[in-house]
Amino acid sequence: MSPAPKKVLALAGGVGGAKLALGLARVLPPERLTVVVNTGDDDTFHGLHVCPDLDTVMYTLAGLADPERGWGIAGDTFWTLEALGRYGAPTWFKLGDLDLATHIRRTELLRQEWALSQITQELCRRLGVKQRVAPMTDQPVRTVVVTEEREMAFQEYFVRRGSQPRIRGVRFEGAPQAAPSPQFREALAGAEAVVFCPSNPVVSIGPILAVGGVRKAIATFRGPRLAVSPIVGGQALRGPAARMLAELGEEASCVGVARRYAGLCDVMVIDETDRHQAQRIRELGMDVAVANTVMRTDEDKEALARLVCELAGL
């Protein structure tokens, strides 16, 4: 009898996380990969339940993602949104016609009392995604960004306001009371390795860690735990990670990311550009691997995923 396949639990937010998830999907058999995705950014637009990070991961694994924009479906049109604008509805959150089908279907199934994790499984199946993709929780969690102006939902801060308001803090409403989704629980119990994808440590990985019991489960996880820094040379590859860390008084670098993962992560993968930071991260009690972490092509994604699997001894 062959041993049970070694499973990987990847924690992801949107674009950066989806890239490494795709790399992992290309190097691992599908049954070995569970991607657990942040849902703190979920929001309601036009009465439709939108899960930006889940959809980015799902579309990316389905080969549908728009590689240019970093959100939505490639080649999508915006007829409905334009017509909604004509009716006076707010249109700052861009929802394409193909993308809208996801939100309409999800909202309808939620209304029929399906759990978000079941819905995600169903949508993925329909799109031919063979890996397990799951929300971090089936309960509502809401990332609230406390800015100098006022508190706002993450999409308002990020999309509508272009991450311009200075932040003072971030809160994950509902997270402590929320339970990990069934797929997340199963992976926390049965995976051989945990991978922190290169997603925003504050508002992508942060909410996942805030879900009831998750931080402890990862702190006491018995297998290797690896993280890829989303910050390279002091800059986030995409999104407001560096800016947010700085405004929170933390270091906007791979070291700042590592500090957030101290006690939760064994190996930090940093970019060649940040080689000089390796010693500072080791001082936090982690091993460091240096690699090209900027995933421009599918080959880059695969190479990074292969390295991560190798470091995890898979």
The residue among 115 and 289 lying less far from a copy of itself, judged by its C-beta, is 115
Place of tokens 């695969």: 302
- Give the total of residues touching a copy of itself (CB under 8 A): 29
Q: Which of 94, 107, 280, 291 binds a copy of itself (CB under 8 A)?
A: 107
The residue among 79 and 92 lying less far from a copy of itself, judged by its C-beta, is 79
Q: Which positions from 122 to 161 touch a copy of itself by CB under 8 A, shown as an x/- string?
A: xx--xx----------------------------------
Interaction between residue 57 and a copy of itself (CB under 8 A):
no
Q: DSSP secondary-structure letter at 153? A: E
Interaction between residue 83 and a copy of itself (CB under 8 A):
yes
Q: Which of 80, 235, 273, 292 binds a copy of itself (CB under 8 A)?
A: 80
Stretch that binds a copy of itself, among 79-87, 190-198, 238-246, 282-290 (CB under 8 A): 79-87
If one counts every other C-beta atom within 10 angstroms of the C-beta of residue 113, the result is: 7
Q: How far apart are CA 141 and CA 163, in angstroms?
A: 20
The residue among 109 and 265 lying less far from a copy of itself, judged by its C-beta, is 109
Do 247 and 205 touch, CB atoms closer than 8 A?
no
Q: How far apart are CA 42 and CA 172, in angstroms?
A: 12
Interaction between residue 113 and a copy of itself (CB under 8 A):
no
The CA-CA-CA angle for residues 19, 22, 24, to 5°, reads 110
* Strand positions, DSSP E, the chain: 8-12, 33-37, 43-45, 48-50, 132-135, 142-147, 151-153, 167-173, 193-196, 225-228, 231-232, 235-236, 267-271, 287-291
Q: Where do contacts with a copy of itself occur on this chain (CB under 8 A)?
A: 46-48, 76-77, 79-84, 86-89, 97-98, 100-102, 104-105, 107-108, 111, 122-123, 126-127
